[in-house]
Amino acid sequence: MAGEKILLADDDRLMLGMLKEYLSGRGYAVEAAGNGNEALNAIKTGKFHLALFDLKLPGLSGLELLAHVKQHSPDTEVILFTGYAGLDTAIQALRLGAYDYLLKSEVRFAELQAVLERALERRRLAQANRELLDHLQEAQEELKKRRAAELVQIRRIGEALAGPLAWEQLVQGLLNLMWEGLSLTALGVEVYGLGEDLTQAYRCQPGLGEAVFEDFQTGLKERLQLALKTHYQHGFREPAAVCDSASRAMPLPAMLFGDIRAGEVLAMVAAGREAPFSAEEAELFRIFNLQGEAALKNLLLFEQVKCLAIRDGLTGLYNHRHFWELLNREVELARRYGRPLSLLFLDIDDFKNINDTLGHPQGDLVLKKLAAYLEGSVRQADLVCRYGGEEFVVVLSQTSPEQGRVLAERLRSGIAGELKITVSIGLAGLEPGMDAENLVKVADAALYRAKQSGKNRVCVGGRD
């Protein structure tokens, strides 16, 4: 909305000027600060609809400014942006109330504009909800107790859905809150895109007939399928408005419908009973859906940020740090249950020549192709990680060295045939008294011998 006030803070004068010019040209009232202290003074002397802070600023950091904003102006939405990705910082920013956490290198002005609009829309929606609740409280004195109970429910939504939940916890938690907050005969949610193809959850009163409940579930599934066609044919759209009307597809006279969308995840929610819903109940149902959508988006963002910390940016494999966590866990399990465990240490032969002759982009492509080949050639239970540079490791659970040797030879010959490169492989099996570090050392030593004895071969823990 034109005229909304935005506070910018960045010590990069060029970036600051470009942002100010871009946003001012789109009708926003923009105030710019070149350091944390200037931004703090602006926060104390004025009210802003939205603030956009660089994470690293002279004087006060972006996180410190975020804390000041939430203390002095809780309604102000805050977006942090930075030149590097950090799991702890991103999670801390979200817990302190930031709307989003962006990487400068990945954000374009048009994308930034879209994020700003969504943040401002959430602020408008929150204000509209508060104004509506205030109006309802003032309209009828006899509804005070009922309204107070509804406000408790809304707070419970935030408390229950604010933290990083598992998918099933989120779906079940949202349904429990709706079931407790509204007087319903039947309630259901069908979700597409949560890891598995479909997740569902339902509630019904004991007196509801089995045939009626089955029709209720069938009708909701059909609505989800129709919404999926619209979703993928016409792209992302805002959640549909809820309705309160009879439907031939739904067996209960009074119905409320809502959808929840976040990325590739789509959920359809239906609530029904015999008696018509009041406007207040319909609005509360809508709030439940909006809060569920916000929780789902937070969960998706949390998963994305967590992935940044454990995945290699080039290949998508687990990175060096996470490899050690996984290996220590596998060693502990192997010892506890007396299971065999083997480790493959792979290195691309003459990889420097590939970079020197074909260039680093082609070298990166070789690394990505090898990573994909390894993941597609081992069991789902096996763990493929990028150890560093052109080195990869494969953790083979419940696999003896003899079995590991067979797999290693198959990988070596397959890579040479399909990728037209060769690899040397060192293999080590877990032995009594051996820890994760020693297992890696043995495999690394075997890899060194494979390199020294001619490359494109497999060596096993001290012997050929």
pLDDT in tens, 386-430: 998 999 999 999 999 999 999 999 999 999 999 999 999 999 999
pLDDT above 90 for 103: no
Do the beta carbons of residue 434 and residue 461 sit within 8 Å? Answer: no
Least Cα distance to 69 among 52, 90, 91 occurs for 52
Q: Mean pLDDT check: name the lowest of 98-112, 317-331, 422-436.
A: 98-112
CA dist., res. 261 & res. 286, Å (int): 14
422 class by beta-carbon count within 10 Å (0-12 exposed, 13-18 middle, 19+ buried): middle
Least Cα distance to 180 among 159, 152, 161, 200 occurs for 152
At residue 238, the pLDDT reads 40
Structure tokens at 125: 């929606």
Least Cα distance to 383 among 372, 373, 397, 369 occurs for 397
CA dist., res. 155 & res. 161, Å (int): 10
CA dist., res. 184 & res. 402, Å (int): 61
Q: Mean pLDDT check: name the lowest of 68-77, 247-256, 335-344, 379-388.
A: 247-256
* Radius of gyration of the CA atoms of the chain, in A: 28
pLDDT above 50 for 242: no
All structural domains of the chain: 5-120 (3.40.50.2300), 158-306 (3.30.450.40), 320-460 (3.30.70.270)
Do the beta carbons of residue 4 and residue 26 sit within 8 Å? Answer: no
Do the beta carbons of residue 311 and residue 317 sit within 8 Å? Answer: yes
Q: How confident is the model at residue 448 (pLDDT cuts 50, 70, 90)?
A: very high
Q: How confident is the model at residue 239 (pLDDT cuts 50, 70, 90)?
A: very low
CA dist., res. 212 & res. 208, Å (int): 7
Q: How confident is the model at residue 248 (pLDDT cuts 50, 70, 90)?
A: very low
For 383, residues 6+ apart whose C-beta sits below 8 A from its C-beta are 318, 323, 326, 330, 394, 395, 397
pLDDT-above-90 percentage for the chain: 32
CA angle, 450 as apex, 449 and 455 as ends, to 5°?
135
Q: What is the mean pLDDT of residues 262-284?
A: 85
Q: Which residue has the higher pLDDT, 168 or 304?
A: 168
Q: How confident is the model at residue 304 (pLDDT cuts 50, 70, 90)?
A: low
Q: Is the pTM of this model over 0.85?
A: no
At residue 403, the pLDDT reads 95
pLDDT in tens, 427-438: 999 999 899 999
At residue 241, the pLDDT reads 37
pLDDT in tens, 110-129: 888 888 888 888 888 888 87
